[in-house]
Structures are given as C-alpha cells and as structure tokens.
Amino acid sequence: MRIMPRTSTMHSSERPCRMAAVFHACRGVVNCAPLLLPLVVVCGVICGGGAGWSVAGAALVIGCVLRAYRVVLCAFFCGLIVALCSALRQREVDELKLTAQPPPRVVQVQGTVIRVLDHACIIESGGFGVRVVVYGDIPAQLGERLSVMGEPRPTEQPLVPGMFSQEEWMRGMGIVARLNCLRMECSDGNFGYATLLRAAECVRTTLVDRLMPPGTEKDVRRQVLCALVLGEKGRADDDTIDIFRRGGCLHAFAVSGLHVGIVASILWMLLRLCRVRPDWGRWVLLLGVGLYVFATGMAVPALRAYVMLAMVLGALILRRRVSYLNAWCFAALFVLMFQPWQFYQPGFRLSFMVYGAICLGVRFAMSDVPWFGPDSYIPVRIHTRCERWLVDADFFVRGAVVVSMCAWLVSLPLSVLHFHVVNTASYIVNILIAPLLPVIMFMGLLMLVVGGVPIIGGVVQAGALCSAGWLVSLVGLFGSIPGAYLPAVPPAAGEEWMVVPLNRGKSACVLGNPGILVGDVRGERAARYVVQPALFHAGFSPVLCLEPRDAATASIYSHTWPKLRYFCAPPGTAPQRFTSAAGSFTVFAPPADQPVSYSANATPIIHWRRQDARRCLYIGNAALSTFEALPPDYRRADVIILGYNSHEPIIDPQLLRSIGMKRIILLPGARGHGVETFFPNETAEP
C-alpha cells in the first residue's frame, strides 16, 4: 500500500512555527534594546512627509504587535515631544520672517553666539534652536548676546553635485537664514551651553598652544598632532587636510569615537599599571574621558561615544546587563531630542552608522574560526607561548580586516551620497594606520603633560613629531596613487565642455575630456575652491592648462591631475598645436604689435576640432585684433565661446555672422553688453 505524504498539513503546521520564531526574535531585539523603537519613531518624525510619518507609525504598530506597550508609550511621547518642538521652532522662524520689511528688507534678530567663523558668526535665537548666520566683521565671542539688524542674503547653489552646498550645510547646522550685518549691539550673555563652549574653547586653545608654540604653525606634523589629539582642524593648512581627504582618513581629524576609545584605553591601562581597583577605576575613567571630551569642544561624535561609554560603565558599576545596541540607541536619541537637525549632518550619520558596522564586525570576528592560529577546540591552558602569540596575532589581524571592511562598506555609500567621492584606498590605509594612531595619541597626550620638562619633554616631543610624520607620509603615499580618490560620476564625454563662472564676471572653461583648461585659471583661491572642485566632480580631466601665475596654483591642479601640462602663449609666438582623445587644439597667441597694457589683451584664441569633425572656437576675452589675425580657415566654427574685451570688444553682428556658427556660448563677462540681442535664437548661456 502506498502512503502519500501530507504536504499541506506539514506546510500549514510550519507556518505558525516560523511566525512564532520571527515573533520571538523581534521580541528579543526589543527586549535587548528597548530604545530602538523610540529612535525609529523620532527619526521618522524628523524626516516628516509621508515616508517619515509612515515609518513612525509602522514602528508603533510593530511595538503593539510585539506587546511591548511600555516601549510603545515611550516612543509615542518621544515622537510627540520632537513634533511639538519642531512646530514651535517653525513658529519662531515664521515670526522672524514676519519682522521683515518691504524691500530693502531688514530683519531684527537677537540671540547668543554659539560659533565664530571667518568674518561671520552663528547666533541662536529663541528657545528652540533657531540659528542664523551673520556676516561681517563682528568682534563677538562665544556666549555673548547680540542684537543684529541685517539684510537677508541669498543662498548660493553649488555648480555641480559634490561641491560645497550652503543649503545642505545650513540644514545640517539648523540654520534658517543668512544675514549681512548692518547694525549690531553686544551684551553679556547668561550662563548656558554657549558659555560651556567658550570655556571649552579657552581650554583647547591653551592646550593647542602647547602642541604648537608660536613660530611652528607651518609644521605639518604639529598640525596633525593638534587635529588628532585635540580635534583642532583650524590650525591645519588646506594642503594637509587635502592629503588626509585623498587618503580616506579625514575622519581622524574630528574627535569621534575612535579618539574617545583610544583615550579611554590609555587611561584604563595607566590605572591598571597603578594598581587602581576596577570599582574606583571606572569612576576615574568616566571623569577623565569626560574632561577630554569637554576640552575638545564637545563635538557630536565625541558626545555620542562618551554617552555610550557612560552607559556601559554605569551598567558595570550598578552590576546590570550591558547592551551595546541599547547604548547606541540612547546616544542617538539623546542627540536628536535636543538637536533634531543633527539627523541631516553627514558626521552624525557616519558616526552612528560606522559604529553599528564596527559592532557587527567585532561580533563576526569573535565568532569566526581562527585564520592562522591553533585550533579553537584546543584548550587555552595547554597552549605554548608561541601559540598564545599566534592567538593574539590572529585575533588582531582578523579583527582589523573584518572590522575595517564593515566600516568601509558602510561609509562608502554615505561618502557617495554626501561628498560624491569614492576612496578606493581608504580600506587599506585605515588598516595600516590602526596601530599607529594610538601611539600618536599617547605621545601627543604625554607631550601635553611633560612637554616642558627639559630632557624628558624633548624626547617625548621628538617621538610625537616622528610618529606624526610617519602618519603623514603613509597617508600621502596611498592618497597619491592614481585612482585612490575618484569622483562618484562617470567621466565626461570627449566632446563635452564646461564653463565655470567666477566672481566679477570672470570664468574658466574646459574644452573636451581630456582637454584644455583656459580662462581665468591663475588665481589660487579660485583654483582651490571653485575651478578644481567643479571640474573634478563633473568628471573632467584636463591634460593642458594655461600657465598659472604662481607655483601654488599649479600645485593645486597638478595634485588633482598628475598628467597635466602647462603652456603659455606670449604675443607674437607661432600657433601651438595639441592633440588628445577629445580632438586637436590650436592655440593662437595675440599679435606682437598688440598693446599689452590691459591684461585681457594678451588672451589667446583656441580652435578645437572635435572627433566628430565639429569645430569650436574659444574666443574668451581676446581682443578684436587677435581674432582678425587668425587664418581664414580658422575663423569659421560651429560653436563659439565668447567673452568681452573692454579694450577691443568683438560685438559686430556681421563679423559674428561671418563665422558661420550655429550656437554662441556667452561667458559671464559678456552678458549685458548687447551680444545676446544680435542672435536671440542662437545664443545660449552656459
């Protein structure tokens, strides 16, 4: 007799078992981290909109399904508090806008200075964190009360994604407006958070002066020490910051969980060497790390790490169960309840997400089998000394590789989202510098303590500077590898061009990819903050560039594009021809007899024949005599890029029509001089 299996009955019995397993697993997560659901609700409320409120509602429903009613009640009240605070904050913003008068608009703001910038400061008005940036020469300090009458300043949009965005920066800082200061009155502020920041700033300035005495500001090693030990990035040059940015180690310049963990480990080892009892050592550790976080300015990543450390130490002191996930949730909830706009900060997201990835990596590394050590089933008591060293080395290597991989995989999409870059070498670099950072931190802290002692201080200072120099060399070596720092966009097509507008009607232009970079490319500030970032994030890689005025500007371009070559076109020289994958370029210098008293008169004209046989004529700010000196074959083009020359302008309609172009690209300096009225159907702005 053949017996058929009862598949339907088995499947129907398996479904309740699986659902019960999922239910108990979710219930276990909630029991382990009861603050997870309140954190999800608060994040949903801060995001707002349909998606945000749906996430918050779904978290409450899940809590009810899991029968965690006390957790649901806590989550509901946390979300309600954040929603009410956001509504009251928006009301203060609306009241601030209602005080604006008809044009010219003038806004009256009163608040406390919470941050001082270059030629600007950030003031906090009201009781719900309404922040305003005030621009001008303001002799204000942290904690002072200001009454400012200012004119609203428009927000500047970045040229391409990836460049500095004032709108995103303001959103992440909780800033609602930017004002040009017209009139200001100062008064002493009351004791508050800004006063604590001012005290912390004074302490940090005193400590930084010990690491960087007067006359050593240009020493890159001391700049790195100040940034690593105390989080003082303001003393570091742009070139130093760029080295660590390209190496994928810029996170080391901001005091975060890495620094707090290293300081806590160093302090705990010293306490154990001094044979301090663990019960007393935990209190000393809590106080010592708290003073370090205070001295470094109480940044959000450092506060997150300290709050988590305080929860873990508090659990050990009270002899309670330690839940790192719950501590992580409490730290995030603690920050977002007081400053909800931190949710949009890249540093906040990187800090919390990378920490979560590190915890997962540590758990996986501890549960994984040894890679090259003795078998895990062999009892530890019968290990030889060599085998014990192998066990320690295996655990260190396994942890470094796995944890760094988890952190890199999480930080990679966040870097693409916020900074539009990909650091391909950061994974290897962070593994290599992992054993070096504690040494630098220890030597830097020791330098703060005994740096003034005649003999010991000199030895400690030499060791700290030597280790910092090794770090700079290692990061710079990997950051200079081709392909270590790439934009998160595909390369621009060979036939594309890009015009980068600058201040005062100036502009830079890149023709083709790889192509030639011309225009106003000789200023160091414009090259560092506008031209180079715009071309880099747009996917352009020029191979030729008009020769800059100084070596500093040339180093900015050469550092980004190592294959870049420079050329100059003095008046009276023969045409220069270059060829690349984008086509052939011919550079025509001005005539020898042309007056060069005006800097714009020495501008060359570039003829670009693309691979598709179309011709582009870059006239720029060249003079009329330079154009008339062109050979007849090179005067015709399909596209012309035209600027304005104040001495010999090219604005004759018949002359422009004789070129036979199909399109005119007007540079910023040419607008307003009547060129666009000649060809209304053919003119296009870049």
The one-letter amino acid code at 76 reads F
Locate tokens 């050592």: which residue? 281
**Residues of the chain predicted below pLDDT 50:** 1-10, 598, 685-686
- Nearest in space to 179 (alpha carbons), one of 77, 105, 280: 105
- For the chain, how are helix, strand and coil distributed in percent, rounded to 5? 55, 15, 30
pLDDT digits (tens, 9 = 90+) for 130-167: 888 988 887 777 878 888 888 888 888 888 888 888 88
Residues 185, 147 contacting (CB under 8 angstroms): yes
Number of helices followed by number of strands (H, E) in the chain: 22, 19
Q: What's the CATH code, domain 99-190?
A: 2.40.50
> What pLDDT is stored for residue 301 in this prediction?
81
Residues 158, 417 contacting (CB under 8 angstroms): no
The ranges of the chain annotated as CATH 3.60.15 are 497-684
The ranges of the chain annotated as CATH 2.40.50 are 99-190
Residues 470, 478 contacting (CB under 8 angstroms): no
Q: What residues have CB less than 8 Å from 583, skipping those under 6 apart?
A: 494, 495, 512, 608, 609, 610, 611
DSSP annotation of 212 reads: S
| CATH architecture entry for 497-684 | 4-Layer Sandwich (3.60)
- Nearest in space to 605 (alpha carbons), one of 671, 519, 507: 519
Locate tokens 């080395």: which residue? 393
> What pLDDT is stored for residue 595 in this prediction?
58
